[in-house]
Amino acid sequence: MKIKAWATPILISILLITTIIGLGSISNLEGKDVLELDDTGITEIDYDSQNGVVYVSIYNRGEDPETGNIILEIDGAVVEEREVVVDQKKEVYLDFDFNSPSDRVSVYLESDGEPVRGVGFMVDRYPEYYTLE
């Protein structure tokens, strides 16, 4: 099948436009108040001032289980640390209390003193009226 000479630039333009639109759509998939871990191994949470619970889903991308400490920091100070073993998916609830929207909140999995990069996070925050029994 032969494509006419004038059709090639049109087809390339259509392909380029759909690719750009598709990439833009993928970048907007994150839900409100949900953050995905980047490749540094650390994710920062930017929330309004409140108390509450951080709900963390950890996904192991590798085949072997990852063991480490899930760490929640506020302005560089560790406020919650819990040892976890992540096989495929692990869900963890961490309490937090911070008073200023300018507080820097971060969550990461640490093993041997370094952030683990072989896992992915989804982090969501529940308001202060949410309690764990």
What are the φ and ψ backbone dihedral angles of 130, each rounded to 5 degrees? -80, 125
Which tens digit of pLDDT belongs to each residue from 49-106?
Answer: 455 556 667 777 777 777 888 887 777 788 778 888 877 766 666 666 555 556 666 7
Residue 39 falls inside a structural domain = yes
CATH code of 67's domain: 2.60.120.260
CA-to-CA distance for 80 and 40, rounded, in angstroms?
Answer: 20
Residue 74 falls inside a structural domain = yes
CA-to-CA distance for 76 and 80, rounded, in angstroms?
Answer: 12
Q: Residue 82 forms beta bridges with which residues? A: 70
Q: What is the pTM of this model?
A: 0.49
Residue 98 falls inside a structural domain = yes
Domain count, the chain: 1
Is there a contact between 105 and 98 (Cβ–Cβ < 8 Å)? yes
91 is in which domain, residue-wise?
Answer: 35-126
